[in-house]
């Protein structure tokens, strides 16, 4: 990467190197990729034509997170997943099998089921055509009148399904690359602190007043944190966030969340800094042991809390993995945070077939008892468009932070309609993840795939 574009600042690796524990090699590895400095065309956000290209050439051919396993824990449980104008039924067939079907009866296209629930069969309410959970045809009322169905397969068509970290991914393209290839080395990064060890404690979604990429990009870099979230920067090193990319579909940011951020803080005694940090972040005061830092004390405290719930040791995890904000991105729209510092997952997608509106899903994860089966996911809360995140009690201190982001997203969307510039200016390093995923979009749009049934 160009020397002029990167400040020589401490990275996550600096803190990992000082820890007596050792993180996995894949997790600790820093990437070094330059995506240039070209402006990003504004038309990629505000053009209905560009949106339609994504609808026809991206979403029908990529892996995307549809739900969590604990949304459909028992055989017969189902949930609907919508992307643009298309809808899919995600169905648990048995304890070990999950399938995904286009949510359409093979008779006249009626949606088979709405929302989420439990059923013994997939039966159309219009004329009663019925399928078994595994997609095989069960019955057609008065089948004598449909002789053509005797000569063709009447099994429900399927989207491909994969499961990682407890999340269920689908790909409508039967010829798509294997999910294991698509995710690359991402599972290795999470091997020490698997997402499977968590439960969905909170799931909140809301319509956002902007194109899905504008909404997502509000969360893909830390450059905005200081002016947007001043309450978050008192003892965090957001200006020193590390950015990495791993192959075509995965990227990461890593911010040291609890550490002396200025020379004045570094000159404090450990206890004085601990008292100041506790006050600034709303935590309880911690009495440090001799020779102990505030980071070390907080990490030990969190290890004890997690081990109490999980019933297993997390002593192998470094202080970075216990405390810091480490966000991964899996193309095109899935953002799982790693470790226990900020245990969140985001998902972003278009709101129906609209280019100017999007859906944001927020999942807050919590440790679960690993000696017991996973518990069902928390009830999904959909916020009304006029309700701020801060009014949603289950989000706690995160609510006001999301409201600050919402203000930015709405203002960016309005500004993009007004600017006379043809492109937006992106940082070469701090906004490199934006360039990275846009390049991947281009590979899909340039693909010769066609799908006449969706044109």
3-state helix, strand, coil in the chain (%, to 5): 35, 25, 45
Task: Answer yes or no: is 189 within a domain.
Answer: no
Q: Residue 13 above 90 pLDDT?
A: no
Query: Does 145 share its domain with 289?
Result: no
8 Å CB contact between 79 and 99 = no
Query: Does 120 share its domain with 140?
Result: yes
Look at residues 171, 206, 236 and tell me which one is the last residue of a structural domain: 171
Query: Does 352 share its domain with 309?
Result: yes
Q: What is the pLDDT of residues 313-322, one digit of tens each?
A: 999 999 999 9
CATH of the domain at 443: 3.90.380
Judge if the upstream peptide bond of residue 6 is cis by omega within 30 degrees of 0. no
8 Å CB contact between 326 and 252 = yes
Query: Does 276 share its domain with 400?
Result: yes
Q: What is the pLDDT of residues 140-159, one digit of tens each?
A: 999 999 999 998 999 999 99
Q: What is the mean pLDDT of residues 325-330?
A: 97
| Chain position carrying tokens 């004598």 | 144
Task: Answer yes or no: is 221 within a domain.
Answer: yes
Q: What is the mean pLDDT of residues 326-352?
A: 97
Pick from 121, 124, 111: nearest CA to 85:
111
Query: Does 239 share its domain with 369?
Result: yes
The 10 Å Cβ neighbour count of residue 170 is 25
Query: Does 286 share its domain with 412?
Result: yes
Task: Answer yes or no: is 367 within a domain.
Answer: yes
β 380-382/198-208 pair status: parallel
| pLDDT band (50, 70, 90) for residue 455 | very low
Query: Does 69 share its domain with 50?
Result: no
pLDDT of residue 154: 97
The 10 Å Cβ neighbour count of residue 176 is 17
Query: Does 273 share its domain with 315?
Result: yes
Q: What is the pLDDT of residues 244-293, one digit of tens each?
A: 999 999 999 999 888 877 788 888 888 998 888 887 777 788 899 998 99
| pLDDT band (50, 70, 90) for residue 448 | low
Q: What is the mean pLDDT of residues 122-148?
A: 97
What residue numbers bound the domain in which 401 lies? 3-55+195-448
Query: Does 341 share its domain with 311?
Result: yes
* Residues whose CB is less than 8 angstroms from the CB of residue 74 and which lie 6 or more positions away in sequence, other chains included: 92, 118
| pLDDT band (50, 70, 90) for residue 67 | very high
Radius of gyration of the chain (CA): 24
CA atoms of 434 and 86, how far apart (whole Å): 26
| Chain position carrying tokens 């979009």 | 441
Number of domains in the chain: 2
pTM: 0.93
b (16+ CB within 10 A) / e for 8-20? eeebbeebbeebe
β 198-208/167-171 pair status: unpaired
Q: What is the maximum span of the chain, computed from C-alpha positions, in angstroms? A: 86
pLDDT of residue 14: 85
Q: Residue 10 above 80 pLDDT?
A: no
CA atoms of 216 and 199, how far apart (whole Å): 23
Query: Does 167 share its domain with 229?
Result: no
Q: What is the pLDDT of residues 392-413, one digit of tens each?
A: 999 999 999 999 999 999 999 9
CATH of the domain at 149: 2.102.10.10
Query: Does 304 share its domain with 221?
Result: yes
Query: Does 436 share its domain with 329?
Result: yes
């Amino acid at each position: 990467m160009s020397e002029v574009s990167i400040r020589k600042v401490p990275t996550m690796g600096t803190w990992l190197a000082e820890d007596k524990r050792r993180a996995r090699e894949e997790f600790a590895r820093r990437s070094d990729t330059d995506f240039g400095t070209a402006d990003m065309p504004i038309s990629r956000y505000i053009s209905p034509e560009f949106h339609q290209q994504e609808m026809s050439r991206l979403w029908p051919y990529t892996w995307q997170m549809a739900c969590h396993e604990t949304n459909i824990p028992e055989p017969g449980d189902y949930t609907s997943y919508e992307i643009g104008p298309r809808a899919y039924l995600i169905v648990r067939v048995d304890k070990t099998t999950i399938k995904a079907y286009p949510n359409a009866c093979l008779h006249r296209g009626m949606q088979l089921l709405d929302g989420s629930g439990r059923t013994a069969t997939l039966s159309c309410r219009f004329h009663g055509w019925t399928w078994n959970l595994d997609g095989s045809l069960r019955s057609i009322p008065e089948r004598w009148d449909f002789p053509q169905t005797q000569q063709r397969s009447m099994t429900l068509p399927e989207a491909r399904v994969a499961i990682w970290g407890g999340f269920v991914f689908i790909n409508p393209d039967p010829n798509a690359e294997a999910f294991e290839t698509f995710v690359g080395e991402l599972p290795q990064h999470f091997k020490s602190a698997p997402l499977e060890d968590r439960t969905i404690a909170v799931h909140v979604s809301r319509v956002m007043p902007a194109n899905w990429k504008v909404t997502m990009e509000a969360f893909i870099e830390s450059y905005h944190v200081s002016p947007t979230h001043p309450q978050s920067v008192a003892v965090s090193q957001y200006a020193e966030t590390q950015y990495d990319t791993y192959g075509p579909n995965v990227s990461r940011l890593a911010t040291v969340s609890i550490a002396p951020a200025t020379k004045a803080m570094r000159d404090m005694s450990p206890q004085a800094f601990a008292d100041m940090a506790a006050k600034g972040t709303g935590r309880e005061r911690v009495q440090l042991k001799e020779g102990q830092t505030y980071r070390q004390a907080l990490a030990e405290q969190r290890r004890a809390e997690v081990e109490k719930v999980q019933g297993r040791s997390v002593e192998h995890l470094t202080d970075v993995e216990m405390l810091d904000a480490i966000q991964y991105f899996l193309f095109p729209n899935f953002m799982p945070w790693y470790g226990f510092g900020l245990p969140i997952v985001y998902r972003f997608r278009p709101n129906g077939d609209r280019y100017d509106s999007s859906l944001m899903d927020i999942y807050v994860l919590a440790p679960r008892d690993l000696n017991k089966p996973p518990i069902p996911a928390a009830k999904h809360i959909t916020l009304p468009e006029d309700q701020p995140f801060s009014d949603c009690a289950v989000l706690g201190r995160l609510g006001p932070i999301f409201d600050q982001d919402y203000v930015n997203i709405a203002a960016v969307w309005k500004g993009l309609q007004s600017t006379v510039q043809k492109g937006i200016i992106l940082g070469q390093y701090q906004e490199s993840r934006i360039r990275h995923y846009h390049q991947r979009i281009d590979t899909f749009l340039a693909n010769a795939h066609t799908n006449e049934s969706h044109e």
